[in-house]
Structure 1
Amino acid sequence: MTPADTADRQAAERTGGAAAQSGADQRSFPWQDRPAAVQDAVWRDSRNPIIARRPMPGIQGIYNSAVAPFGDAYVGVFRTEDYNRFPHLRVGWSRDAIEWKFESDPILFANQDHDPADYAYDPRVVQIDGVYYITWCGGHNGPTISIARTEDFRTFERMDNAFLPFNRNGVLFPRKLGGKYLMLSRPSDDGHTPFGDIYLSESPDMVHWGKHRLVMRRGGGEHGQWWQRTKIGAGPIPIETADGWLMIYHGVIDTCNGFVYSMGAAVLCKDDPARVLYRTNRHLLTPDEDYEVFGHVPNVVFPCAALHDEATGRLAIYYGAADTCTCVVYSTVDRIVEFTKANSTVF
């Protein structure tokens, strides 16, 4: 670890501080024990989908969304779709990260006039040095990675887009490395893309992005891995572990009946996250339940957020199911890392 990395970590600890720990002590972490009959590395919440179809008036679906600890509870930035299927971002609040109450209006940016033509979907949320950053696939000069910042989830400041069109799946790391912000993304085109690889970019100020490096490619057919042969994309905010950065991602196969989205994992080098140490050669989760198989877009498991309880290692992973509803699976960080190391093919 470089001196700059050490300084970054110390700054994060100072700004996270006692207030964050006090909130964590009071917060109710979402959890269900693994059923005895389940031997998989992850297991579904028995209440799935936790956000069902038509969860509030005028909204037909909430899915592919971000959640994060906030004070002594949880906050979420959710992809919500009106009956015209146009996606917006909307804030939600929860005491237990299972039952959510949503703001009546979409997010508006204090420094930008609202443009109804700007779609917004698949957000992620991360706290870095006391500021919450939201990234999403935005239609403002896009599709590409849009960024906003907030400290209270009441007032939001729109920042410059990170990249030129076209790009999707912008996922920030939870702290700086070498004094730089890091972001995973997937360069693409304007449709269901033939581009399908994950890249890493860095920035000194969350405005100027460069040093774009390939992290890992789609494919795997030569290794007998059809589940991720069409495209891949980073999911929740990476989790720092003793083995490296745990990156949960989605992998896609194109079948004679359309795309199938599944969940996988990789472990990236802690000091150089562009280097993959381990990568699952089989999926962690694939559409099996009716709410994953049937919906507006069938056969989709799309992870976008994860809550990590550092004291116990417990992990709650949130995913969109069939582009219709929101679900949760559980595991522990150690269990997923060990699964990834035991079932790894890096290519």
Structure 2
Amino acid sequence: AGFASSPTGPWEIGDVIMRSGHGPSAFQSKIGPGAPPIKTRFGWLNIFHGVRSTMAGNPYSLGVAFHDLKEPTNPNKIRISAKPVLMPSRSDCMVKDSDYVHVPNVVFSCGALNGQEDTVAIYYGGNDTVMNVGLANIEILNEMCNLFPINPLTGKHLYFL
């Protein structure tokens, strides 16, 4: 991955700012981008997707992170919640063993809108067969990052139960 000030280059290699974790996490196997970041009073709200490999498959969940407004690429200033904000729990986002769906047990977001009174609308697909929308309170998302933080570069939990 890289960046440039022009489509014709020159391209520079970017630094890793978030990495999938190790150990018990909804994002232990893979992470990837979701909706473009949204500017909030807590920082840049980043809704991303993550995967945890299990014996029952590889469910995709949505995670939340807040990046510093002035230094959004500084990993030391990124707060990530270890807890997913959305999991494939609705019937249209889960499948039975007898059903065939190309991408089972998945929620995947490519869009989010800043709403009124600290809400965000998160548009997400389920199983590549439906599109849904969910509302979340930005203050609660911020609190999730404070209560259940993980290290952006190692994925290790920074909290104890």
- What TM-score, normalized to structure 1? 0.39
Q: Which amino acid aligns with 1:293?
A: M
Counterparts of 1:29-44 in structure 2, within 5 Å, are: none
**2: distance between equivalents of 1:207 and 1:343?**
41
Look up the match of 2:119.
314
Displacement after TM superposition at 1:318 (Å): 0.5
Q: Which amino acid aligns with 1:303?
A: S
Unaligned runs of at least 5 residues, structure 2: 96-100, 155-161
**2: distance between equivalents of 1:255 and 1:317?**
26
1:282 aligns with 2:87: no
Look up the match of 2:45.
246
1:230 aligns with 2:35: no
**1: distance between equivalents of 2:85 and 2:118?**
18
Displacement after TM superposition at 1:207 (Å): 4.2
Secondary structure of the residue aligned to 1:338 is helix
The number of residues matched between the two structures is 144
Among 88, 107, 110, the residue aligned to 1:304: 110
Deviation readout 1:253-277 (Å, 9 max, x if unpaired):
1222331100111111222222242
CA 287–211 in structure 1, closer or farther in 2 if over 3 Å, else same: same
Could you tell me the percent identity over the aligned residues?
Answer: 33
Q: Which has the higher strand share?
A: 1
Among 219, 223, 230, the residue aligned to 2:21: 219
**2: distance between equivalents of 1:262 and 1:220?**
16
CA 333–203 in structure 1, closer or farther in 2 if over 3 Å, else same: farther
Unaligned runs of at least 5 residues, structure 1: 1-186, 188-200
Q: Would you say the 8 A contact 2:46–2:67 is kept in 1?
A: yes
Q: Which has the higher contact order (CA 8 A, sep 6+)?
A: 2
Counterparts of 1:161-172 in structure 2, within 5 Å, are: none
CA RMSD of aligned residues (A): 1.8
Deviation readout 1:150-195 (Å, 9 max, x if unpaired):
xxxxxxxxxxxxxxxxxxxxxxxxxxxxxxxxxxxxx6xxxxxxxx
Among 140, 146, 153, the residue aligned to 1:341: 146
**2: distance between equivalents of 1:216 and 1:239?**
17
